[in-house]
Structure formats: C-alpha cells, structure tokens
C-alpha cells in the first residue's frame, strides 16, 4: 500500500508531467485522487450542459466502494506509469 507521503509526492509529480495525458487518463487521475482523499462521491450529479463537471462526477462515482487505500495505491501506480514512458 502507498503511504500518505507517497500519495502526496505522486500528486506533486502529476502536476509536472512532460506531456498532457489523454482525457481518459486525466479523468482516471482525478477520480482516483478524489476517491483516495475524500472517499465515495457525495452530492448530486451536475446537470445541464456542464459536460466537464458531469464527466468528473461520473468518473469519481465509478469508483464508489473502492477503499481509500486501494485508490491511493492505484493513483501512485498510475502516476509512476506515466513517467516510465518519458
């Protein structure tokens, strides 16, 4: 399992990626970060034409039930994999 320090370090590294990942990977990073830091999604799903907010909500909601520890580990692994191709 990734420690809180490893998770925070990965979050900092994610801000320094040499190239922008695909939108799918960005949503995965967002969802894992939110699940790891806050737990299951809360609040109502955004409505209207705010497609970005809807996509973020849906990505986070798809992780409902995943433990914060598991999400933290997956987030660290994903960030590490993004740097391996560099």
Residue in the structure block whose two tokens are 């994903």: 78
Question: 4-85: what fold?
Answer: Acyl-CoA Binding Protein (1.20.80)
Residue in the structure block whose two tokens are 């806050």: 38
Whole-model pTM? 0.93
Q: Sign of torsion, CA 16 65 62 85? A: positive
Low-confidence spans in the chain with pLDDT less than 70:
85-86
In angstroms, rounded to a whole number, what is the distance separating the alpha carbons of residues 83 and 69? 22
Instruction: Confirm if 23 and 59 have CB atoms less than 8 A apart.
Output: no
pLDDT at residue 1 in the model: 87
Cα angle, residue 81 at apex, residues 79 and 82 outer, rounded to 5°: 65
Map out the domains of the chain as residue ranges: 4-85
pLDDT at residue 17 in the model: 92
pLDDT at residue 64 in the model: 97
């Amino acid at each position: 399992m990734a420690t809180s320090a490893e998770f925070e370090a990965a979050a900092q590294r994610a801000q320094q990626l040499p190239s922008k990942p695909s939108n799918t990977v960005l949503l995965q990073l967002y969802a894992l970060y939110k699940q790891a830091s806050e737990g299951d999604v809360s609040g109502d799903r955004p409505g209207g034409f705010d497609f970005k907010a809807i996509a973020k909500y849906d990505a986070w909601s798809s992780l409902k039930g995943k433990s914060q520890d598991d999400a933290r580990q997956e987030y660290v692994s994903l960030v590490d994999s993004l740097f391996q191709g560099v």
